[in-house]
Amino acid sequence: MKRVTFVSAIIATVILALSGFCVGSIALGCAAIVIGAVWLLILWKSVKRTDLTILLCAETAIAVLNILYGASIYLAGIAIVVAIMSWDFALTETAIASFPAEMTKRFTIRHVIRIGIIAVIGLLLLVIPLQIHIQIGFRTALGLGLGSFMLFAMLLKLMNRRNKGRVGHHRAVVDRLAMLRDAMKKKDGRP
């Protein structure tokens, strides 16, 4: 996990720095390198990893500035996706640090694969809208955005309710089984 975290952090930094230098902004390039170096230092020294969140924000800001300066959105998108990956890997690594490496190996592989899939989907979702050009008004776009947000919120609420029901049902079954066991122990049939 550590290796993947380091590699992804280096890739994100290199891409950001290159795109910064490509658009002719030495400041942005240098800032990307400095942030990358601090990021790597935090990973290496294993200090408070929550500080990486601040660095993720900074890297995103540099990526956005690169875009505004005219850098390729695809490069910036890749940098953002890889930075999110590195951030997630670093936090997961902290969470599993107290467990033996051989036990967490399978988990690590699965986590890397899942994050990789999410990263690919994220990149695709970033690329596809930029390829499709639909002319809609601002109000329509805002309405669509808010509508999708509310739909997502409702979906979450529904899932929560379903899960609560499932856990409640499970608990009821366990209680009933316990009552039955007690009654059998007493041998009088009464709970």
Chain residues in the site for other proteins (CB under 8 A): 49-50, 53, 56-57, 60, 63-64, 67-68, 73, 76-77, 80-81, 84, 88, 91-92, 95-96, 98-100, 103-104, 107, 110-111, 114-115, 118-119, 121-123, 125-126, 129-130, 145, 152, 156, 159-160, 163, 166-167, 170, 174
Go through 24-63 and write b for each residue having 16 or more CB atoms within 10 A of its CB, e for each that does not. Answer: ebeebbebbbebbebbbebbeeeeebeebeebbebbbebb
Using DSSP, how many helices (H) and how many strands (E) does the chain show? 6, 0
Q: How far is the CB of 8 from other proteins (least distance, A)?
A: 13
Distance CA 190, CA 183 (A): 6
Is the CB of 179 or the CB of 189 nearer to other proteins?
179
Beta carbon of residue 138, minimum distance to other proteins (angstroms, whole number): 9
Element (H, E) at 106: helix 101-131
Nearer residue to other proteins within complex by CB, 35 or 81: 81
Amino acid at 115: I
Mapping DSSP to helix (H, G, I), strand (E, B) and coil, where does residue 61 land? helix
40/118 with CB nearer other proteins: 118
Q: Which is nearer to other proteins, 114 or 191 (CB)?
A: 114
